Amino acid sequence: MKQKVFLAFTAMLFGGAIVAGPALAQSNIDKMRGFKVTGTSLDIPTVPQDPAYIAQLRKNLKHVKLPPGFKIDVFAIVPDARHMAVSKSIAVVFVGTRKSLAWAVTDRDRDRIADEVKVLAPSIKMKVPNGMCITNDGILYVVEHNRVLILPAIEFFYESPDVAIDGVIEPLVPVEEESFNHGARTCSIGPDNKLYITLGQPFNVPAKEKLELYKKVGLGGIIRMNRDGTGREVYVDGIRNSVGHAWNPANGELWFTDNQVDGMGDDIPPGELNRVTAKGQNFGFPWYGGGDTRTTLYADEDPPADAIFPEVEMAPHAADLGMMFYTGKMFPAKYRGGIFSAQHGSWNRTTPVGARVMFTSLNEDGSAKETVPFAHGWLIDETGEYVGRPVDVEQYIDGSILVSDDLAGAIYRISYEGQ
Distance of CA 184 to the CA centre of its chain: 9
- Quick check: pTM over 0.85? yes
Q: How confident is the model at residue 419 (pLDDT cuts 50, 70, 90)?
A: confident
What tens digit of pLDDT does each residue of 178-207 get? 998 999 999 999 999 999 999 999 999 999
Q: Are 398 and 71 in contact (CB under 8 A)?
A: no
Q: What is the structure's pLDDT at 32?
A: 44
Closest to 158 measured CA to CA, from 234, 86, 217:
86
Closest to 190 measured CA to CA, from 133, 129, 118:
133
As a three-state string, the secondary structure of 2-47 is CEECCCCCCCCCCCCCCCCHHHHHHHHHHHHHCCCCCCCCCCCCEC
Q: How confident is the model at residue 10 (pLDDT cuts 50, 70, 90)?
A: very low
Q: What is the structure's pLDDT at 12?
A: 31
pLDDT higher than 70, residue 169: yes
Q: What is the structure's pLDDT at 189?
A: 98
- CA separation for the pair 77, 291 (Å, rounded): 37
What tens digit of pLDDT does each residue of 339-365 get? 999 999 999 999 999 999 999 999 999
- CA separation for the pair 80, 99 (Å, rounded): 8
What tens digit of pLDDT does each residue of 123-136 get? 999 999 999 999 99
Residue type, position 229, single letter: G
Q: CA of 103: how far to CAs of 63, 169, 402, in Å?
A: 27, 21, 15
What tens digit of pLDDT does each residue of 20-75 get? 344 434 444 454 444 455 567 788 999 999 999 999 999 999 999 999 999 999 99
- CA separation for the pair 407, 344 (Å, rounded): 10
As a three-state string, the secondary structure of the chain is CCEECCCCCCCCCCCCCCCCHHHHHHHHHHHHHCCCCCCCCCCCCECCCCHHHHHHHHHHHCCCECCCCEEEEEEEECCCCCCEEECCCCCCEEECCCCCCCEEEECCCCCCCCCEEEECCCCCCCCCCCEEEECCCCCEEEECCCCEEEECCHHHHCCCCCCCCCEEECCCCCHHHCCCCCCCCCEEECCCCCEEEEECCCCCCCCHHHHHHHHHHCCCEEEEECCCCCCCEEEEECCCCCCCEEECCCCCCEEEEECCCCCCCCCCCCEEEEEECCCCCECCCCCEEECCEECCCCCCCCCCCCCCCCCEEECCCCCEEEEEECCCCCCCHHHCCCEEEEECCCCCCCCCCCCEEEEEEECCCCCEEEEEEEEECCEECCCCEECCCEEEEEECCCCCEEEEECCCCEEEEEEECCC
CATH 2.120.10.30 fits 52-76+171-416, yes or no: yes
- CA separation for the pair 291, 402 (Å, rounded): 29
Q: How confident is the model at residue 6 (pLDDT cuts 50, 70, 90)?
A: very low
- CA separation for the pair 230, 381 (Å, rounded): 49
Q: What is the structure's pLDDT at 21?
A: 40
Q: Are 301 and 307 in contact (CB under 8 A)?
A: no
Q: How confident is the model at residue 380 (pLDDT cuts 50, 70, 90)?
A: very high
Distance of CA 200 to the CA centre of its chain: 13
Q: What is the structure's pLDDT at 89?
A: 87
Closest to 323 measured CA to CA, from 292, 348, 359:
359
How do the domains of the chain map onto residue ranges? 52-76+171-416
What tens digit of pLDDT does each residue of 227-262 get? 999 999 999 999 999 999 999 999 999 999 999 999
Taking the CA of residue 64 as centre, how many other CA atoms within 13 Å lie in the half-sphere pointing to its CB? 28
Q: What is the structure's pLDDT at 36?
A: 52
- CA separation for the pair 186, 256 (Å, rounded): 10
Mean pLDDT of the chain: 91
Determine the average pLDDT of the residues in 300-308.
96
Q: What is the structure's pLDDT at 178?
A: 95
> How many residues are there in the chain?
419
Closest to 190 measured CA to CA, from 132, 238, 129, 253:
253
Least confident stretch, 160-164, 287-291, 374-378, 414-418: 160-164
